[in-house]
């Protein structure tokens, strides 16, 4: 059995909510002006995971979405490609059969609340990989974590990571649900110690995360990297709609993690409406492509 008291005691994060807010304000005051540039807005498109996680999704809608990604070079030759397309497991095969571009295929398991059997999550992971996914976004069992059942949460992430084989595993923390910044920080450390390749802010279906949550998560990534040498990615998701929203998250990533994380491999944004707003900002014309 892993000694979680020993694990958590190896990290020292004592900032209050007030101090976190002040630190984020300082980062924005010092860095945002230089971040809010047309070149950065354009580059952010390559960090996006074009996402469709709707109850109304069907084959026609998913095929249409993928065909728009396929046609991006023709429609917007200056933009490049998004980092990934993210859909429910039922539509992974449809994406795989329709996609002609070199774009990652992401799916979600235990979504959106993690309130199902571990066997179901492992099966979802395996079936999704067989269908063509190469990135898995799992939801952490927040309720069990808040109960202090760290061992079970840890082992669940480990088991799903093992099931991922060569696919990347992103652990969704639902960052807005933790009573204190220290609770969120501990959840980050636990997830990364269990093998997460990325930690992700939220599903967008529950308490949407904030820039302050992102700051805590990036601090955890930085501290984990300093201690272990392992580089874990960061994914922001839920309520990121405007280019300003995206640039603010970019500012936090730059300010806490540095330029080494500012690439489509280590920094992702899960969004749908954001893509249109970036296209609008770059082309200077209103775009409703996605």
- Across 12-37, b (16+ Cβ under 10 Å) vs e yields ebebeeeebeebbeebbeebbeebee
Token representation of residue 160: 């799903």
Q: Identify the active-site residue in 121, 186, 200, 254.
A: 200
Q: Identify the active-site residue in 121, 137, 197, 266.
A: 137
> Which 3-state string (H, E, C) describes 152-164?
HHHHHHHHHHHHH
288 has catalytic annotation: no
How far, rounded to the nearest angstrom, does the alpha carbon of residue 151 sit from its chain's CA centroid?
24
- The answer to whether the CB of 159 falls within 8 A of the CB of 118 is yes
| DSSP code for 260 | G
25 has catalytic annotation: no
For 115, other C-beta atoms within 10 Å of its C-beta total: 11
Q: Which residues pair with 270 in a beta bridge?
A: 49, 237
161 has catalytic annotation: no
Distance between start and end Cα atoms, the chain: 48
Per DSSP (E only), the strands in 59-160 are 84-87, 104-109, 135-139
- As a dihedral over the C-alpha atoms of residue 74, residue 76, residue 79, residue 80, rounded to 10 degrees, the angle is -20
Q: Identify the active-site residue in 121, 235, 254, 266.
A: 235
Q: Which residues are catalytic?
A: 137, 200, 235
């Amino acid at each position: 059995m892993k000694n979680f008291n020993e694990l958590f005691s190896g990290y020292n994060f004592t900032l209050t909510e007030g101090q976190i807010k002040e630190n984020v304000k300082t980062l924005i005051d010092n860095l945002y002006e230089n971040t809010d540039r047309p070149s950065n807005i354009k580059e952010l498109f390559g960090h996006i995971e074009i996402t469709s996680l709707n109850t109304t999704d069907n084959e026609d809608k998913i095929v249409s979405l993928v065909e728009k990604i396929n046609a991006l070079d023709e429609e917007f030759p200056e933009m490049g490609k998004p980092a990934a397309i993210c859909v429910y497991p039922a539509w992974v095969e449809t994406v795989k059969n329709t996609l002609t571009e070199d774009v990652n295929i992401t799916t979600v398991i235990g979504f959106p609340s993690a309130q199902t059997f571990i066997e179901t999550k492992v099966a979802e992971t395996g079936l999704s990989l067989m269908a063509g996914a190469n990135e898995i976004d799992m939801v952490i069992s927040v309720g069990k974590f808040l109960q202090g059942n760290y061992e079970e949460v840890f082992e669940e992430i480990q088991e799903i990571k093992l099931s991922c084989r060569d696919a990347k595993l992103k652990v969704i923390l639902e960052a807005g649900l933790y009573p204190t910044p220290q609770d969120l920080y501990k959840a980050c450390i636990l997830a990364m110690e269990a093998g997460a390749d990325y930690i992700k802010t939220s599903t967008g279906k529950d308490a949407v995360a904030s820039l302050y949550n992102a700051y805590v998560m990036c601090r955890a990534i930085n501290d984990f990297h300093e201690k272990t040498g392992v580089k874990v990615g960061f994914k922001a998701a839920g309520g990121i709609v405007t280019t300003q929203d995206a640039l603010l998250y970019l500012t936090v990533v730059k300010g806490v993690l540095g330029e080494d994380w500012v690439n489509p491999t280590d920094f992702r944004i899960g969004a749908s409406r954001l893509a249109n707003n970036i296209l609008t900002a770059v082309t200077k014309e209103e775009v409703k492509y996605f």
